[in-house]
Amino acid sequence: MIRLPRRSLLLTFALAVAACVGGPPSTPVGAEPLPLEIRSTAMPFKIDDPAAKQIGKLIWRGGISLLANSRHFGGWSDLVVSPDNRSLTAISDVGSWLTATIERDAKGDLVGLGNGRIGPLRDLAGRQLVGKQESDAEGMALMPDGSWLVSFEGEHRIWHYPTLEATPRALNVPGNFDRQPNNGGVEAITVLPDGRIVALSESYVIRPGLGIGWIGKPLGGDRYLWDMFEYKKVPDFSPTAIRLMPDGAFVVLERAFDFVRGVRVRVMRFPGEDLGVDAVIEPEELAKLASPYAVDNLEGIAATTGARGETLLWLMSDDNFNPLQRNLLLLFEIEK
């Protein structure tokens, strides 16, 4: 997770004051799920060019900025979209989950979210997660049986939730899992149809320029046999999400930030057959998003199939509960 600054010398006094009143909620979301009123505002794809519809191999299918009537709405770190493209599930890095229905127009372009619900993730004893170190949920994956995996930073771990409202069980993790930086753990995690887990560390490297990833083979009873692979990185960019696409390839979201250039995001792809024990993955770039294109602290990605057989990519951002940032949901189609 990148936490973007709340103030800089370039901001006006008014914006600096606004930033100071933000920040993550000091208490967890209520003990029981609550309904949400989600307000969606249409996003332009390119601020200075209303006619723009494509960047790289990604075709714009709509984007929205999201607000809701809960101070716990925000920090969205990963998402899963249902195969019929009608609903999404997301997790927040303050220990919450979100469900909502997806609203699209007659062309299938994204226009809004509705029927929102928010609730708490729980610990191994069934209690609400409390405190940033414990509740920093960063990655999620849907298991073949409909249950969920959630990966956490801070206290690096992967938990298995029968439902997101239920008490989880802990997975065994690779032997070097706790060597990851405190704020640079597994944000990118997905599960394959055969039950194998694929996880990518945001910041852990052994050899320069090569991020560490793991493949977990299920042994039963939340036990996995773990092998390693490496993922070729470029300076400044780190993986924040990974998904298996309908064609069997993987899509990876990478993000970078600095004060001068702001947030930049790369959408990457690599063939499924490239994944293997001790493999070195060299992904190709589908597109790079940076201002003036629609972009924020994008951390989550989902991949589905559209009505025409096209591959759809859904990108979601973490606003860090900072009033200078936004909760975005963006929809793209991959050019054939």
- The Cβ of residue 336 has, within 10 Å, a number of other Cβ atoms equal to 9
Provide DSSP, 264-313: EEEEEEE-GGG--TT-EE--EEEEEEETTBS-SSEEEEEEEE-TTS-EEE
Q: Is residue 56 part of a domain?
A: yes
**314 inside domain:** yes
Distance CA 173, CA 162 (A): 18
Which CATH number characterizes residue 311's domain? 2.120.10
| 31: confidence class by pLDDT, cuts 50, 70, 90 | confident
> What DSSP designation does 14 have?
H
Task: Look at residue 211 and tell me if it is in a domain.
Answer: yes
What is the total residue count of the chain? 336
What tens digit of pLDDT does each residue of 212-262 get? Answer: 999 999 999 999 999 999 999 999 999 999 999 999 999 999 999 998 999
User: What is the reported pTM?
Assistant: 0.93
Closest CA to 264 of 242, 285, 243: 285
Alpha carbon distance 325, 94 (integer Å): 16
Instruction: Report yes or no on 4 lying in a domain.
Output: no
Q: What residues contact residue 101 under an 8 Å CB cut-off, 6+ apart?
A: 86, 87, 113, 114, 115
Range of the domain at 214: 31-334
Contact partners, residue 185, CB within 8 Å, separation at least 6: 138, 151, 152, 153, 154, 156, 201, 202, 203, 204
For the segment 82-141, what is each residue's pLDDT rounded down to a tens digit?
999 999 999 999 999 999 999 999 999 999 999 999 999 999 999 999 998 999 999 999
| Number of domain units in the chain | 1
Q: How is residue 128 annotated by DSSP?
A: B
Q: What's the rounded Cα separation, in Å, for the pair 60 and 42?
A: 13
Cβ(190)–Cβ(177) below 8 Å? no
pLDDT at 1: 63
* Tokens of residue 244, six digits: 């298996």
Residue pair 119/58 in contact by the 8 Å Cβ criterion: no
Give the pLDDT confidence of 263-317 residue by residue, as tens digits.
999 999 999 999 999 999 999 999 999 999 999 999 999 999 999 999 999 999 9
Percent of the chain whose pLDDT exceeds 70:
93
> Which residue carries 């936004």 as its tokens?
326
172 contacts 224 by C-beta, under 8 angstroms: yes
Q: Report yes or no on 22 lying in a domain.
A: no
Computed over every residue of the chain, the mean pLDDT equals: 93
- Asked if residue 85 is part of any domain, the answer here is yes
pLDDT tier at 9 (50, 70, 90 boundaries)? Answer: very low
Domain-located, residue 5:
no
pLDDT score of 120: 96
Q: Is the dihedral of CA 176, 169, 139, 226 positive or negative?
A: positive
Query: Any idea of the CA torsion for 93, 275, 332, 71, to the nearest 10 degrees?
Result: 0
